[in-house]
Structure 1
Amino acid sequence: MAEFVNPIGKIRGKYGNVIGYVRPDGKNCCRSTSLKRKSGGEPQKRQSMAFGTVAGRKQWMMVVIRLGFPGGNGYGKGFNGFTGANVKSAVVVEKIDPEKPVSNRKKAEKEFSGVIDYGKLRVAAGQLVSPMVDVEVDAGNRKVVFTHEGMPVESVDCFSDDKVYGVMLSVQKRRCRLQELGTRGESFVASMDFPGKADADGLFVYVFAVRADGKDTSDSICVWEPEA
Structure 2
Amino acid sequence: MAEFVNSIGQVRGKFGNVVAYVRANGKNYCKGASISRKPSTEPQKQQAAAFAVVVSRRGWMARAIRLGFPGNQYPKGFNGFTSANVTTAVTVEKVNPMKPIVRYKKAIQEYRGIIDYSKLRVAAGALVSPVVACEVESGNRKVHFSHRRMAVEAIDCFLDDEIYGVLLHESTHSCKVMRLGMRGEDWNESMDFPEEAEMEGLVVYVFARAADGKDTSDSVCLKCNG
The answer to whether the 8 A contact 1:17-1:34 is kept is: no
The answer to whether the 8 A contact 1:68-1:217 is kept is: yes
Distance 1:185 1:108, change over 3 A: same
Deviation at 1:39, TM superposition (A): 3.3
The answer to whether the 8 A contact 1:122-1:219 is kept is: yes
1:28 and 1:78 mapped to 2: Cα distance? Answer: 41
**In structure 1, what residue type is equivalent to 2:150?**
M
Q: Which residue of 2 aligns with 1:195?
A: 194
Deviation at 1:50, TM superposition (A): 0.7
1:57 and 1:100 mapped to 2: Cα distance? Answer: 29
Q: Which residue of 2 aligns with 1:215?
A: 214
Seq. identity, %: 53
1:160 and 1:28 mapped to 2: Cα distance? Answer: 64
1:70 and 1:18 mapped to 2: Cα distance? Answer: 38
Distance 1:30 1:187, change over 3 A: closer
Instruction: Tell me the secondary structure at the aligned position of residue 171 of structure 2.
Output: coil
Distance 1:96 1:158, change over 3 A: same
The answer to whether the 8 A contact 1:65-1:82 is kept is: yes
Moved beyond 6 Å, runs of 4+: 27-34
The answer to whether the 8 A contact 1:6-1:30 is kept is: no
**In structure 2, what residue type is equivalent to 1:200?**
M
Structure 1 residue runs without a partner (length 5+): 11-15
Deviation at 1:104, TM superposition (A): 1.2
From the CA coordinates, give the structure whose radius of gyration is larger.
1
Give TM-score, length-normalised by structure 1. 0.85
Instruction: Tell me the secondary structure at the aligned position of residue 154 of structure 1.
Output: coil
Further displaced range: 122-131 or 40-49 = 40-49
**Total equivalences in the alignment:** 214
Distance 1:212 1:98, change over 3 A: same
Q: Which residue of 1 aligns with 2:81?
A: 82
The answer to whether the 8 A contact 1:134-1:148 is kept is: yes
Structure 2 residue runs without a partner (length 5+): 9-14
**In structure 2, what residue type is equivalent to 1:55?**
V
Instruction: Tell me the secondary structure at the aligned position of residue 172 of structure 2.
Output: coil
**In structure 1, what residue type is equivalent to 2:79?**
N
1:177 and 1:41 mapped to 2: Cα distance? Answer: 38
Q: Which residue of 2 aligns with 1:45?
A: 45
2:196 and 2:17 mapped to 1: Cα distance? Answer: 58
**Superposition CA RMSD, Å:** 2.6
Give TM-score, length-normalised by structure 2. 0.86
**In structure 2, what residue type is equivalent to 1:56?**
S
2:208 and 2:180 mapped to 1: Cα distance? Answer: 10
**In structure 1, what residue type is equivalent to 2:87?**
K
The answer to whether the 8 A contact 1:205-1:223 is kept is: yes
**In structure 2, what residue type is equivalent to 1:173?**
T
Deviation at 1:150, TM superposition (A): 0.5
Q: Which residue of 1 aligns with 2:108?
A: 109
1:222 and 1:208 mapped to 2: Cα distance? Answer: 9
Further displaced range: 195-204 or 34-43 = 34-43
2:17 and 2:156 mapped to 1: Cα distance? Answer: 58
The answer to whether the 8 A contact 1:148-1:187 is kept is: yes
